[in-house]
Structure 1
Amino acid sequence: MSWLVLIASGVLEAVWATALGRSDGLTRPLPTAIFGAALLLSMGGLAFAMRDLPVGTSYAVWVGIGASLTVAYGMWTGTETTSLAKILLVTGIVACVVGLKLLH
């Protein structure tokens, strides 16, 4: 259960990071509200997962999922440049997250 919550929390990290970028310095109400809600849920899920999983592993997986999805979303929407090198590096992050899960 902790792993599922941790994965969902990582996805929510990507949501809040993207919403923060769209909030224009927390001045736009809807992106700011999405940022706040996703941040609270993401942090709460991370805290829940850390009750059963090691802190270092939990944090690395949470950040890895959030960062990878945030970059992938940016490339998909065109707000980030896309290159083979960037795709390979993000794939490496995902591989490391999977590796941490397999080792635990």
Structure 2
Amino acid sequence: MHWLVLIISGVFEAVWATALGKSEGFSRLGPSIIFAVTVIISMGGLAFAMRELPTGTAYAVWVGIGASGAVAYSMMTGAEAASIAKIVCIIAIVAGVVGLKLAS
């Protein structure tokens, strides 16, 4: 259960990071509201997961999912240029996250 919540929280981290960028310094209402709601959900899920999972592992997985998701979303929408090197690096991050899960 804690791993599932952590993974979902990592996805919400990608959402709030993307919304933060689109809020243009909190000057746009819609993205600012999305940021506020999803950052609370994401942090709450991380806090819940840390009840049972080691802090370092939980945080690394949460950040890895969030960072990978934010970059993948940016590349898919054309906001950021895609390249083979970036895709390989995202795969490496995901592999590290999976490795942390398997090592736990």
TM-score range relative to shorter protein = over 0.9
Alignment of 1:1-104 (within 5 A): 1-104=1-104
SS at match of 1:64: helix
Q: Percent identity?
A: 65
- Residue-by-residue CA offset, 1:13-51 (whole Å, 9 max, x unaligned): 000000001001001111000000000000000000000
Q: CA deviation at 1:59?
A: 0.2
- Provide the C-alpha distance between the structure 2 equivalents of 1:11 and 1:82, rounded to a whole number of angstroms: 20
Runs of 4+ deviating beyond 6 Å = none
- Provide the C-alpha distance between the structure 2 equivalents of 1:46 and 1:63, rounded to a whole number of angstroms: 10
- Provide the C-alpha distance between the structure 2 equivalents of 1:16 and 1:72, rounded to a whole number of angstroms: 14
- Provide the C-alpha distance between the structure 1 equivalents of 2:83 and 2:59, rounded to a whole number of angstroms: 27
Structure 2 residue ranges without an equivalent (≥5): none
- Provide the C-alpha distance between the structure 2 equivalents of 1:73 and 1:10, rounded to a whole number of angstroms: 14
Cα root mean square deviation, aligned: 0.4
SS at match of 1:25: coil
Q: CA deviation at 1:82?
A: 0.6
Report the count of equivalent residues.
104
- Provide the C-alpha distance between the structure 2 equivalents of 1:87 and 1:36, rounded to a whole number of angstroms: 29
Q: CA deviation at 1:77?
A: 0.4
